[in-house]
Structure 1
Amino acid sequence: MKALTFKRYGKSPDIGFANIDRPTLQPDELLVQVHAAGVNPIDNMVPVGTFKPVLHFKLPAVLGSDLAGVVIEVGSRVTRFKPGDEIYASLFDLGKGSIAEFAAVPESAAALKPTNLDFVQAASIPMVALTSWQALKERISLRRGQKLFIPAGSGGIGTFAIQLAHELGAKVGTTVSTGNVELVSGLGADEIVDYKKQEFDQVLRGYDAVLGTVRGDAIEKSLNILKPGGRVVSLIGPLDAAFAEAKKLNFLLKFVFGMMSRKIRKLATKKGISYAFHFVRPDGRQLAEIGSLLESGRIRPVIDKVFPFDQAKEALDYLALGRAKGKVVIKIK
């Protein structure tokens, strides 16, 4: 089968198409013919080795995490799916890739594709949806009437997280450029700061939580807008010791990650704020719940651009520019 792979970690990972064997199906897996694969910023970070100590691949490895497609075979222990089912899933942190003609998907990671979405729309959902769901509902415990700040609201995570927070009854603040104000307002953002004109920490106040989505000094600045007792859940780091412990990493990595997050944790503690790094996990049952929101129209996919399969590498290059309004998707079949 044809797949987009990388051969090594580092500045020259040798990303390109390769003809590889179809995945060998395990008893608890589905063999899926992939119709579309969503791409995410971490897909550009993995080959250069950013998460090499945490994410484990056998090289050469297939790139990508999100997919939507049709089940063509099921393992002997599979009970929830059958050949012909249309599913969507995230393979993130499973040592597998999605930018390929076929993928082996653990039953626990898959859910039936929302009936009102096509494959391209469905493939745009899994990672941003699961990340938002787990961060807002599990880590922040976001409640109706609370105020949540989500910077970079027009990006892949931002466009979904704003909608989910709005659905949960929260007031949402975000940052965008002038041209994207209307987009995020339509998704449910309440306070919108044009980052080209104002610094968000000079404008926003009284927030209960921050979803960290932007690198640089944005996490530190966000401490200024939070109430005492507020929470920062970061998706972009720095990694912390709690994450290393949850991943059952060795003592050295636990120490290193603890040191990496020491400054932000110290600053947060002084203000009575908690800091945590969040790493998304695949979860088919959560995707099924999210699917209900999508089918009802209460949340909708936001897609910036669709690339054909033979331009998969160009899709990753485009995403790396950081200009996408919503998600970038590769149409495979």
Structure 2
Amino acid sequence: MRALVYDDYCDLQGMRLADIPDPAPGPDEVLVEVHAAGINPIDWKVRAGHMRARFELEFPDVAGRDLSGVVVAVGSNVTDLKEGDTVFGTCPPNRWGSHAELIAVEASVVGIKPPEISHIEAASISLVGLTALTALEKTATIQNGMRVLVHAGAGGVGAFAIQYCKSRGATVFATASAGNADFVRRLGADEAIDYRNVDFTEVASDIDVVYDTMGGETHLRSYNVLKPGGLMVCLNAEPIPDEKPRDDIRVETPLVQYDRAGVERIAQLIQTRAVQPSVGTVFFFSDAMDAYRLSETNHARGKIVLRIK
């Protein structure tokens, strides 16, 4: 099979498309023919060695976490999935490899793909959905009437977060570039804040929940917009400063859980039209380097997806 591999921690030039042996599913795994795979910033941050304290790789490594495809074989212990099932999901942190024509993945982390969406769309939504739901449903519990600030609203996680919060009846403020203002408004943002030219602390106020995907100075300034007793949830934000300017604000950095229940929750939200996939740019597998190059600018709108089949 063809796969996107690298032999050590490296920059983009260290990656290559190569023919490697087909994987075989373990007892608790399914073998999936990958039709599409999403690219997330964590993919290249891990490859570059930026997150070695959390993710120690064994080489050669196959990149990628998000996938959508068709089950072609099942492990001896798998009884709830079968050959021919169309599935989507996210590889757990200890196992990568979706940027390949085949992947052996734990059956417990994939679920049935909603028929309403394509493989491209399904491959765009699982990791961002699991991340946003950990922050906004399991930690913050967004409710009708809340005021929420979502940083980086035009990215994959931000786009899911805006839609989810709006579906729960919240008033949503989102930071984005001027060029992405209409995009985040279409997602449901009530106020799009041009972070390059406007100080978000002068626009947003009395905020119940800040979803911080940025960290650093943005994290510290976000204290200014939260109301007393407010909550700042930090996921994918780095670095998180040790400084805490206010004692009346709760700051949470929860861990994302990777399981079928989370994937099925995403499917439910899609089917009720509470959220929809936000696909930005689609690349053929042969152009994977260009896809990663775009991701590494940190300015992609929506999700970047590889068309594998």
TM-score computed with the length of structure 1 as normaliser: 0.88
Question: What one-letter code is carried by the residue in structure 1 that aligns with 2:132?
Answer: S
**Counterparts of residues 56-95 of structure 1 (less than 5 Å):** 56-95=56-95
Q: Which residue number corresponds to residue 281 of structure 2?
A: 305
Map 1:270-289; keep pairs closer than 5 Å.
Answer: 270-289=246-265
Deviation at 1:261, TM superposition (A): 4.6
Partner residue of 1:17?
17
1:117 matched residue in structure 2? 117
Q: Secondary structure at the match of 1:236?
A: coil
Task: State which drifts further: 65-74 or 311-320.
Answer: 311-320
**Number of residues paired by the alignment?**
309
After superposition, the C-alpha distances for 1:169-213 in whole angstroms (9 at most, x for unaligned) are: 222111122222222112111122122331101221000111111
Q: How do 1:1-333 residues align onto structure 2 when only pairs under 5 Å count? A: 1-11=1-11, 14-238=14-238, 261-263=241-243, 266-267=244-245, 270-333=246-309
1:224 positional shift: 0.5
Looking at structure 1, the residues matched to 21 and 74 of structure 2 have their Cα atoms a distance apart, in angstroms, of: 18
User: Cα distance, 1:13 vs. partner?
Assistant: 7.3
Residue 90 of structure 1: CA displacement?
A: 0.2
Aligned-partner Cα distance in 2 for 1:273–1:29: 42
Match for residue 252 of structure 1? none
- Percent of counterpart pairs with the same letter? 37
Equivalent pair of 1:150/1:174 in contact (CA under 8 Å): yes
- What is the CA-CA distance between 1:215 and the residue it aligns to? 4.5
Q: Which moved more, 1:158-167 or 1:9-18?
A: 9-18
Q: C-alpha separation between the residues in 1 aligned to 2:57 and 2:139?
A: 27
Structure 1 distance, partners of 2:42, 2:255, is 11
Superposition deviation, residue 306 in structure 1: 0.4
Contact kept? 1:62, 1:98, Cα under 8 Å: yes
| Residues in 2 aligned to 1:212 and 1:5: alpha-carbon distance in whole angstroms | 32
C-alpha spacing 1:298/1:223, structure 2 compared with 1 (3 Å): same
CA contact (8 A) 1:127 1:280 kept: no
Counterpart amino acid of residue 107 in structure 1: A
- The whole-number CA distance in structure 1 between the counterparts of 2:270 and 2:102 is 25
Q: Is the 8 A contact 1:163 1:299 kept in 2?
A: yes
Kept in 1, the 8 Å contact 2:215–2:234? The answer is no
2:297 alignment partner AA: L
1:323 offset after TM fit, Å? 2.4
Q: What CA distance in whole angstroms lies between the structure 2 residues aligned with 1:215 and 1:272? A: 19
Q: CA deviation at 1:236?
A: 3.0
State how far apart, in whole Å, the 1-side matches of 2:29 and 2:133 are. Answer: 24
**Distance in 2, Cα, partners of 1:262 & 1:304:** 34
The Cα of 1:144 is off from its aligned counterpart by: 1.9
Code of the aligned partner of 2:221: K
Structure 1, 295-304 or 158-167: larger mean CA deviation: 295-304
**C-alpha contact (below 8 Å) 2:36/2:119 kept by paired residues:** yes
Q: Structure 2: how far apart are the matches of 1:174 and 1:238?
A: 19
Distance 1:215 1:83 in 2: 43
Q: 1:325 to 1:13 in 2, by over 3 A?
A: closer
Letter in 2 for 1:39: I
Q: Report the 3-state secondary structure (helix = DSSP H, G, I; strand = E; otherwise coil) of the residue aligned with 1:46.
A: helix
Query: Which amino acid in 1 is paired with 2:80?
Result: R
Pick closer, same or farther for the CA change 1:235–1:126 going to 2, 3 Å. same
Question: Contact conserved, 2:12 with 2:292, CA < 8 A, in 1?
Answer: no
* Conserved 8 A contact 1:93-1:281: no
Query: Residue 37 of structure 1 aligns to which amino acid in structure 2?
Result: A
User: Helix, strand or coil for the counterpart of 1:204?
Assistant: coil
Change (3 A) 1:197 1:237: closer
Structure 2: 5+ residue runs without aligned partners?
Answer: none
SS in 2 for 1:217: helix
Could you say if the C-alpha distance between residues 291 and 222 of structure 1 is closer, same or farther in structure 2, counting changes exceeding 3 Å?
A: same
Secondary structure in 2 aligned to 1:93?
coil
Q: Per the alignment, in what secondary structure is the counterpart of residue 172 of structure 1?
A: strand
CA–CA distance in 2 between the matches of 1:271 and 1:147? Answer: 20
Letter aligned with residue 275 of structure 1: V
- Give me the TM-score of the superposition, normalised by structure 2: 0.95
